[in-house]
Amino acid sequence: MLATFVIGLREGLEAALIVGIVAAFLRREGRPDTIRLVWLGVGLAVAICAAVAIGLQLLSASLPQVEQEMLETVISVVAVGMVTYMIVWMRRHARGLKGHLEGAAGAALVGGTAWALVAMAFLAVLREGFETAVFLLAAFQASTSALAAGFGALAGIALAVGVGYGIYRGGVRINLARFFGLTGLVLVFVASGLVASGLHTGHEAGWVQIGQATALDLSWLIQPGTPLAALITGILGLQPKPAVIELIGWLAYFIPMSLFVMWPQRRSPRAPSPVALDPAVDPAVSPTSR
């Protein structure tokens, strides 16, 4: 039961974090109309995954493992690009955030970008969904205590969905400046995790063969198969024993991007933000024209 709970939580978190942030982001950016599309996209992804899992079951076929890992890897790469774009967008907007323009920010979020974010929520669920749906069906047919196994997995997924919803609600409540600051950092964690897990699935897909030695062994700290391990892997994208390439990828994304996010946020309300650190303010993306 615990084992299936852990897997449900881990796989669910990987999707729920992104969906929660995307939904909060769209809401904050004055596009509440798109929220419904996010839920629709998520529902569609869930339906597709469930249909595939049931279809495979009826044909007594198994999910093609390598293709599944390839799919996860491709979606990871796409998602890293989109999350990075969100981070950059928010940083640019944070400097224009002095006091006003809660609404003005939304004007800059052009239709295409909103759609891209909706697509991302869809893909985030699709990425984890196939495997999880197949797993869920299997758990309910386990040879020992099938019901406990199945409901354990469901409980894990439910908790993950709850966390994602919590992020959405929380993200909607806190004030916009803090939302940008906090979300920026959370997004850096999410994207770093996507880089690491993309390298992991890339290895399982047969695409990444270098740097597979164990970089560090955290299994004394994070017992494999525990809820804590599920949280670490689900949120940070790091295995209890990350391979060298995964750790390098994680750090190579995390260090520069977290600096990028933290730097301009460090300004007190009185002092004006550091002048002209980045003179290139794209007028197409900037919320203010003054």
Partner 1 sequence: MPHPIRPALLGPVTVLAMAASLVVAGCSGTPATATPSAAGSSPAASPSAAPRTVRITMTDAACVPEPATISAGPVTFDVVNVDSSRSTEAELVQGDRILAEKEHLTPGLSGTFTLELTPGAYDIYCPGAQTERTPFTVTAGT
Interatomic CA distance for residues 133 and 150, integer angstroms? 11
Q: Phi-psi bin for 241: left (phi > 0), alpha (psi -120 to 50), beta?
A: beta
By CB under 8 A, which span of 23-31, 55-63, 98-106, 172-180 interacts with partner 1?
Answer: 55-63
Among 30, 46, 50, 241, binds partner 1 (CB under 8 A): 241
DSSP 8-state assignment for residue 109: S
User: Quick one: 122 or 254, whose CB is closer to partner 1?
Assistant: 122
User: Quick one: 143 or 268, whose CB is closer to partner 1?
Assistant: 143
Phi, psi of 155 (to 5 degrees): -60, -40
For the window 208-227, what string marks contact with partner 1 as x by the rule CB under 8 A? Answer: -x--xx-----x---xxx--
DSSP 8-state assignment for residue 236: I
Residues 139-158 that bind partner 1 (CB under 8 A): 139, 142-146, 149, 153
Burial zone of 241 (CB within 10 Å; 0-12 exposed, 13-18 middle, 19+ buried): middle
138 binds partner 1 (CB under 8 A): yes
By CB under 8 A, which span of 31-39, 136-144, 170-178, 247-255 interacts with partner 1?
Answer: 136-144
Residues 66-95 that bind partner 1 (CB under 8 A): 67-68, 70-71, 74-75, 78, 81-82, 85
* Helix (H/G/I), strand (E/B), else coil: 223: coil
Interatomic CA distance for residues 196 and 216, integer angstroms? 14
User: Quick one: 56 or 177, whose CB is closer to partner 1?
Assistant: 56
DSSP 8-state assignment for residue 59: T
Report in angstroms the alpha-carbon separations of 193 from 50, 84, 128, 174, 266: 26, 12, 14, 25, 25
Give ∠ CA 207-188-67 in degrees, rounded to 5. Answer: 25
By CB under 8 A, which span of 49-57, 96-104, 169-177, 249-257 interacts with partner 1?
Answer: 49-57
135 binds partner 1 (CB under 8 A): yes
Positions in the binding site for partner 1 (CB under 8 A): 2-4, 6-7, 48, 52, 55-56, 59-65, 67-68, 70-71, 74-75, 78, 81-82, 85, 110-113, 115-116, 119-120, 122-123, 126, 130-131, 134-135, 138-139, 142-146, 149, 153, 203-204, 206, 209, 212-213, 219, 223-225, 239-241, 284
